[in-house]
Amino acid sequence: MVAVRTSSPLTQLSEEEILFRETVRRFASERVAPLVRRMDEEQQMDSGLVRSLFELGLMGIAIPEECGGGSGTFFDSILAVEAISAVDPAVGVLLDVQNTLVAAALLHWGTDAQKKQYLPRLAADTVGAYALSEAGSGSDAFALATRAARRGDAWILNGRKLWISNAKEAGLFIVFATVDASAGYKGITAFLVEKGAGGFTVGRKEDKLGIRASSTCELILEDCAVPGSQLLGEPGAGYKIAIETLNEGRIGIGAQMLGLAQGAWTHAARYAKERKQFGRAIADFQAMQFQLAEMATDIEAARLLVYNAARLADTRTFGAGADFRKEAAMCKYFASHAAERVASLAVEVFGGLGFVKDSPVEKLYRDAKIGKIYEGTSFMQLATIAKLTL
């Protein structure tokens, strides 16, 4: 595999990775870009686009070939999320949840029978969702009120989940519930729940500030019977499953925010070369050059952090190998802050035009805010970084 040097050793890509990234970029430009405005206004992911994502293999990047996937690396997933998010971060999070959370959890924790049953579907036509959050468990992610009680060979789930990404489109949900409240986090268990299961309902869709095409819904479980074979991992292993997959998921959010920032900068730089004031392109003024230079520096720093964390994630085996918790927290923290800064400055480059919906950067500015909130707030990332560095 030949390495192709870019601006830094950490951002070197192999020829295969460059080809893959360019394929995804071309898809984003040709298939995603024309739909962005409508999907945002309608708060709806285009169903034809979702099918195209499956057809291109982007919904099962790391799933083995024998299961219909691409047998790619975690880093490949990160490249895809970044490239798609430069055009529409709402589509980026669809890819992120599918690849870095749902497929990853099944790959590392599923039984052979579960992998045989679900991995081909996740690669071909089934969207996945990851149901951890509840009204009373945001940053305190494991203060779960959802309960699971054994009844014969089945488990009966009762509770509500909130803010579940991909919920409207999903056919498979990884649902976390407590089987023994007295055991604290050691009682948390993961279950595979299919759409259409008795007692399982996808509730109202949230009306969000940004990433509006991405569905975010509540889930309602009322005596939802889940066969024992649908247990993911052992009873009480839910905490470990969630922690280890969310570490990967945070790198995915870092990639989403990195792509968003790159997209905002590209729009701003292009506009600065086209917009003329006082007889000159505004890009000719030093103040504008400095602003764009600051934005570019933020993006490069975020890319270094995201790529480093993703490469580390690819060197580990779950339960052993590289510990990338600190790097995942750092890249998620920094990239989300960088995306918000870059998108805000991009709006300013566009001036009054940047404040209206005819401008592409207006949407990216709205989309950026969520990066500092979901899959661990900035405060939680700082707490992790402090714990692992002090």
- Rounded to whole angstroms, the Cα distance separating 249 from 108 reads 14
Is 375 designated active site? yes
Tell me which of 134, 169, 248, 375 is the catalytic residue.
375
8 A C-beta contact, residue 190 and residue 237:
yes
Instruction: Give Cα separations from 338 to 198, 255, 300, 302, 331 (angstroms).
Output: 44, 12, 10, 7, 10
Q: How would you write 313-344 as a 3-class SS string? A: HHCCECCECCCCHHHHHHHHHHHHHHHHHHHH
Q: Could you tell me the two tokens for 342?
A: 């870059």
CA distance 100 to 158: 27
In whole angstroms, what is the distance from residue 200 CA to residue 89 CA? 29
Beta bridge partners of 317: 320
Tell how far CA 337 is from the center of its chain: 16
- In the chain, what is the straight-line distance between the N-terminal and C-terminal CA atoms, in Å? 38
Beta bridge partner(s), residue 232: 190
How many DSSP H helices and E strands does the chain contain? 12, 12
Phi, psi dihedral angles at 126 (to 5 degrees): -110, 120
Q: What residues contact residue 379 under an 8 Å CB cut-off, 6+ apart?
A: 139
Q: Residue 257 in contact with residue 82, Cβ under 8 Å?
A: no
Answer whether 224's CB lies under 8 Å from 158's CB. yes
Alpha-carbon distances, residue 128 vs 102, 230, 240 (angstroms)? 6, 15, 19
Which residues belong to the active site? 375
